[in-house]
């Protein structure tokens, strides 16, 4: 296309000069037809200036909002005097459920992550050998009871013999005093009485021996039954299965671990504080825990342990002081009743921050006040 200037019909000699619109060049196509007029340079520059101004205003607004948010967060996170904080991880006591005797694992009734109640059976060992021993002990127990019954019957019979011998001796002694019996007969009656008494003593001793044997047989049966019961592995506390270590069919030694569980009634967080702050902490100090996973839910807790010796801060703990400074370990424990009410939500290993109120007169900030239902 060629650029051509065209004159309007009214542009005669001596007429008024053409307007700006009339002076605008038009684009002519190859066939001579005109196209749309081109935009003037001042107009383009004015539009660019407007867009630049809008972008600048938006940038100023964004910076202002960011600065306000930063200021708000800094003031929100600022703790009043008398409250200190330390970082740590939620931990729970681990309990190893192990075998009491060597044997083969017959049943495994739980999986990793399952909730457990105190006394719940989690696994069973093969007890066929113990059951056979129990049957033998029960048979021996029945035999011991029969021996005791026989010994007691013999004892009663011998007591009758002693009573009879005593009566005969007394009668003969009475008759002899009146001259109706001889001394020889009296001596015979005395001998019979002494012999019956000695036999009764022996029978009584055999009864005692049989009763001791019976008691031993009863204890043997009880012992085997206890061993069979102990081969059913149970959860000692309420908790959650953390690891399943053994599989069905494995032969385990005495004390072999089968399951590791966490005690949900014993959950705590260890934090590290410098000397100036740790020296003001006492056992029972009120505390709050904020987990990274639940930053809006403060968990009430109390201090349950304060280390008596300082130590280096572990590398896994982030503190605001120098990492090589000696710190004191503080344990903050969550109330077991609260844990029991929220057993399904208890987890271990979650990182968070523990806040300690050193001055009981200081009010907790709003974000650390206990929420309803917690």
Residue by residue, DSSP assigns 177-192 as: HTTSS-HHHHHHHHHH
Of 197 and 275, the structure prediction assigns the larger pLDDT to 197
* pLDDT at 312 exceeding the cut of 90: no
Q: Which residue shows structure tokens 């403060």? A: 298
Confidence of residue 181 (pLDDT cuts 50, 70, 90): confident
Q: How confident is the model at residue 24 (pLDDT cuts 50, 70, 90)?
A: very low
Give the pair of three-digit tokens for residue 211: 């009763």
Enumerate the domain spans of the chain. Answer: 81-94+263-368, 128-230
- Name which residue leads in pLDDT, 45 or 228: 228
Asked whether 256 and 138 are in contact (CB, 8 A), the reply is no
Confidence band, pLDDT 50/70/90 cuts, at residue 67: low
pLDDT for 150 equals 94
Strand pairing class (232-234; 121-125): antiparallel
Identify the pLDDT of residue 60: 78
d(CA 352, CA 277): 19
Q: Which one is predicted more confidently, 52 or 128?
A: 128
Using the predicted structure, report yes or no on whether residue 23 has a pLDDT greater than 50: no
Res 221: pLDDT: 96
- 101's CB contacts (< 8 A; 6+ apart) are 125, 227, 230, 231, 254
Instruction: Write out the DSSP string of 96-125.
Output: EEE-SS-EEEEEE---TT-EE-TT-EEEEE
- pLDDT recorded at residue 344: 84
Tell me what the pLDDT averaged over the chain comes to: 82
Architecture of domain 81-94+263-368: Beta Barrel (2.40)
How far is it, in rounded angstroms, from Cα 297 to Cα 180? 109
Residue 142 confidence class, pLDDT cut points 50, 70, 90: very high
Q: For residue 333, what is the enclosing H or E element?
A: strand 326-334
Phi-psi region of 349 (alpha: psi -120 to 50; beta: other; left: phi over 0): left
Spatial contact of 306 and 349, defined as CB atoms under 8 Å apart: no
Q: Over pLDDT 70: what percentage of the chain? A: 77
pTM (two decimals): 0.63
**More confident: 231 or 175:** 231
Of 3 and 59, the structure prediction assigns the larger pLDDT to 59
């Amino acid at each position: 296309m060629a650029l051509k200037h065209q004159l309007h019909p009214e542009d005669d000699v001596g007429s008024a000069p053409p307007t700006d619109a009339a002076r605008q060049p038009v684009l002519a196509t190859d066939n001579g037809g005109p196209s749309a007029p081109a935009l003037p340079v001042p107009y383009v520059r004015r539009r660019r200036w407007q867009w630049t101004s809008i972008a600048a205003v938006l940038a100023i607004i964004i910076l202002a909002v960011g600065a306000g948010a930063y200021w708000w967060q800094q003031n929100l996170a600022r703790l009043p005097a008398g409250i200190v904080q330390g970082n740590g991880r939620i931990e729970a006591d681990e309990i190893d459920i192990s075998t009491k005797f060597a044997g083969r694992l017959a049943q495994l009734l739980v999986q990793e992550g399952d909730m457990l109640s105190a006394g719940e059976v989690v696994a069973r060992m093969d007890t066929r050998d113990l059951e056979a021993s129990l049957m033998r002990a029960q048979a021996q127990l029945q035999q011991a009871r029969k021996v005791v019954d026989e010994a007691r019957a013999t004892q009663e019979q011998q007591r009758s013999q002693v009573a009879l011998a005593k009566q005969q001796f007394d009668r003969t002694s009475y008759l002899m005093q009146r001259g109706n019996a001889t001394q020889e007969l009296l001596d015979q009656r005395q001998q019979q009485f002494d012999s019956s008494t000695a036999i009764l003593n022996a029978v009584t001793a055999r009864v005692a021996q049989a009763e001791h044997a019976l008691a031993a047989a009863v204890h043997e049966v009880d012992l085997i039954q206890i061993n069979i019961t102990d081969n059913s592995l149970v959860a000692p506390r309420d908790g959650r299965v953390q690891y399943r270590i053994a599989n069905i069919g494995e032969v385990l030694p005495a004390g072999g671990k089968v399951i590791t569980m966490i005690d949900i009634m014993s959950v705590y967080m260890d934090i590290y504080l410098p000397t100036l702050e740790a020296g003001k902490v006492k056992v029972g100090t009120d505390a709050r825990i904020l987990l990274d996973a639940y930053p809006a839910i403060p968990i009430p807790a109390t201090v349950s342990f304060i280390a008596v010796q300082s130590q280096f801060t572990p590398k896994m703990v982030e503190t605001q002081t120098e990492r090589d400074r000696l710190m004191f370990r503080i344990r903050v424990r969550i109330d077991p009743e609260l844990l029991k009410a929220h057993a399904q939500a208890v987890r271990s290993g979650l990182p968070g921050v523990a806040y300690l109120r050193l001055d009981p007169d200081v009010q907790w900030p709003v974000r650390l006040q206990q929420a309803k239902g917690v």
